[in-house]
Amino acid sequence: MPELVVTALLAPSRLTLKLLRAFMWSLVFSAALVAAAVYGCIALTHVMCRPRRGFCGRPRHTPPVCLSDPTLGEHCFLILRSSGLRLHYVSAGRGKGPLMLFLHGFPENWFSWRYQLQEFQSRFHVVAVDLRGYGSSDAPKDVDCYTIDLLMADIQDVILGLGYSKCILVAHDWGALLAWNFSIYYPSLVERMVVVSAAPMSVYQDYSLHHIGQFFRSNYIFLFQLPWLPEKLLSMSDFQILKTTLTHRKRGIPQLTPSELEAFLYDFSQPGGLTGPLNYYRNIFRTFPLEPQELATPTLLLWGEKDPYFEQGLVEAIGSRFVPGRLEAHILPGMGHWIPQTNPVEMHQYMWAFLQDLLD
């Protein structure tokens, strides 16, 4: 068929897709402006209640002692083959078993896996990374440096760079979004997967279009589409919005000690420390609309019954995309979003049972 004819036949579909994307972006930025007004009021309220803290975050010059706890592992760096970036990771248990690779979420870093590093280093080589843009890892400033494809290439480079051909991937929040995608496009590198509190992007997209309540739970995503303003709002009154997110009595990690809280705030208080992590969100709508994808990697999914950010209905939606028999899902009563830190004992029990056949 002549190329001109093919182009003419495809033109209506391409036009429809362009109009759909234009409509989507108009909605996203409208929602972003509303979210900015709401979070702006919240940030200003924090400043008014704590005027001594001012409009900026206090820079931290010395990392908290807990970040150098020797029981958690050895601090190392890896030069990524694909990008040349330097990634920081903490490693323990090398030579004791398969690679167990941990991917954190926002607003966290490798330290969010401290309980799991201690628990599993006796039978696995446990590695918790600071993802690109976080902590001591390199943090390019350009938004285009945080596309899903580049972030998946980072994970591939870590696995192969550590000398392995596959791993057990354990991930939470944003790390879990990457893990879902990685298991689809690099299935040979993932032997098992443990996912906490996150759905594949295509599942999240389809579910949110039919459940408006999920949009309200994820309202912060729209704020993060804007340039520079989210960084400013999150840092006001010495990062009070982040402090509240992490330590809230019901929605956060109430047992977080002041030193452990500083383990997260230390990184974000560094120059440009928030821009890299927020650039993940600034890429999230670029691939819209997403096609449904079949999920086949043997996966343990843990979901908090009281997760304030994601509805329980997403668990069923995830299950509908799986090859039968490959998903073991548990909705944990009374638990929230931060299960690896708030309920590590329960999480470990599910993980040991799920991985037992690999150790026999």
Q: Which two tokens stand for residue 269?
A: 């208080």
Residue 235 and residue 239: Cα distance in Å, rounded? 4
Residue 336 and residue 343: Cα distance in Å, rounded? 9
Percentage helix, strand, coil, to 5, in the chain? 50, 15, 35
Catalytic residue from among 173, 206, 238, 267: 173
Active site annotation includes 204: no
Residue 113 and residue 3: Cα distance in Å, rounded? 54
Catalytic residue from among 89, 134, 266, 281: 281
Peptide bond into 289 cis (omega under 30): yes
Catalytic residue from among 130, 134, 337, 350: 337
Active site annotation includes 337: yes
**What is the pairing mode between strands 86-92 and 74-79?**
antiparallel
What dihedral do alpha carbons 88, 133, 220, 49 form, nearest 10°?
A: 80
Instruction: Give Cα separations from 102 to 58, 62, 149, 338 (angstroms).
Output: 29, 25, 18, 14
Residue 110 and residue 260: Cα distance in Å, rounded? 12
Active site annotation includes 360: no
Neighbouring-strand partners of residue 90 = 75, 128
- Residues acting as catalytic residues: 173, 281, 337
